[in-house]
Amino acid sequence: MKAVPSILLACCFVFAVAANARATELRIQFQGPDRTKANIETAELLLIGWGWTEHVPLTPNGDSVLLDFEKIEAQMPEKFQNVEHVQLYVSSQSLAAVQSERFSWKTPTVDFRGGQSLAVRKDANQSMTVRMRRMETRRIRLLDDDAKPIARLRVLAYRFESRENHCGFLQGPLLKEDSTDAEGRLTVPDGDFKYAFKLEYGSHVVFTSPERTSPLPDQNYFTAFLSQPETVFRLHRFEPHPLELQVFVGPERSPGVWITDSLNFGTCGAASGLLGRTDGNGRLVTDRYYPEERDGICIVDDQGKLLWGKERDDLLQIISKPIEVRLPVGTRFGQTASPCPFP
């Protein structure tokens, strides 16, 4: 009997393995509230890693979306090796968009907030049905510490995706940017997903209920689900104070002294700057200073070392009156846009 060539045996073995291999598949059918088929417009996977996100578009088939785990991973294996969480986002014509809870790609349990959940088994072909609801009014109302509406406040509304990075930078698509009305209300696009609401830098208010999620002043935001037509959130208003400094060197008033306004975020950076310079009479006056938002103010020498300074809590105790700063004769002044070198 003739021997079978080894290359032919190898080809047959590979073919047999390929033929016996089973895919891990999950087909998700989306329905409207009356069980009619949803018309899927957009479907995508959101990959979330430390410091990065990636959108993987999926091709819907009418009312359903197929997750072929091995096939999808083969498109970008390096991303799936480092992915920490995955979410599925689906939008449909005339229905509220949905976004799944986060799940692990290696041991996935696909869960939607409506109660539909399924643990995916490897090498299995499974299916699940997700009910989508009709669009409804979704509105937020912003109130201050005294339950008074915060009017004309610029708000940026996002579909929240991630803050998985060292300093909590917000990631997600912008849904709407607008100002609250006279009653502190703002209507936003409807969806069954987590929102992020962000305030512009310099708005002089901060979220307190719930609390903001990043220490950075340009990342003044919080995240929340909206399940009612109107949801109320509380904010704290920072009050402006008049600030007057009078700088003396020995007995003489000292003009041209730089005053540093300090704010330090440690490893996340800083938002310090120069508040101004004393005038010809050695005075610096500003009508609206927000000490609660800052670390404090200071004066440094020509080597950047601290000559005089007041941190936030101390400054709040004395800011209601003119502040005298007395320094010895021969003092050499400098300037810095870095945080004040408080001890």
Please name which of 46, 30, 60, 23 lies closest in space to residue 128, comparing C-alpha atoms: 30
195: enclosing H helix or E strand: strand 194-199
How does pLDDT run along the chain (343 residues), one tens digit per residue?
Answer: 455 454 444 444 443 334 445 799 999 999 999 999 999 999 999 999 988 899 999 999 999 999 999 999 999 899 898 899 999 999 998 899 999 999 999 999 999 987 789 999 999 999 999 999 999 999 999 999 999 999 999 999 999 999 887 677 889 999 999 999 999 999 999 999 999 999 988 889 988 876 555 556 556 888 999 999 999 999 999 999 999 999 999 999 999 999 999 887 666 766 788 999 999 999 999 999 999 988 999 999 999 999 999 999 999 999 999 999 999 999 999 998 888 999 8
CA distances from 212 to 48, 142, 169, 296 (A): 21, 14, 12, 21
Residues paired with 27 in a beta bridge: 66, 127
What's the pLDDT score for residue 101?
Answer: 95
3-state secondary structure of 229: coil
> Which residues contact residue 46 at a Cβ distance below 8 angstroms, ignoring those fewer than 6 apart?
53, 54, 55, 56, 86, 87, 88, 89, 99, 161
Amino acid at 240: P
Torsion, Cα of 78, 97, 31, 27 (10° steps): 0
Q: How far is 59 from 124, CA to CA, in rounded Å?
A: 21
Residue 171, both tokens: 């990631």
Domains of the chain, first to last: 21-131 (2.60.40), 147-237 (no CATH), 241-327 (2.60.40)
Cis peptide before 210 (omega within 30 of 0): yes
**pLDDT number for residue 338:** 85
DSSP assignments along 234-296, one per residue: EEEEPPPEEEEEEEEETTEE-TT-EEEEE-B-GGG-B--EEEEE--TTSEEEEEEE-GGGSSE
- DSSP-derived 3-state class of residue 11: helix
Q: Kind of pairing, strands 154-159 and 323-327?
A: unpaired
Rounded Cα distance between 314 and 311, Å, is 6
Closest alpha carbon to 196 in 216, 213, 215, 178: 213
Look up residue 329 and give its amino acid.
V
SS3 sequence of 134-180: ECCCEEEEEECCCCCECCCCEEEEEECCECCCCCCCCECCEEEEEEC
| Token pair in block for residue 43 | 């479907």
> What pTM did the predictor assign?
0.83
Give pLDDT tens digits for 239-281: 999 999 999 999 999 999 999 998 876 667 667 889 999 999 9
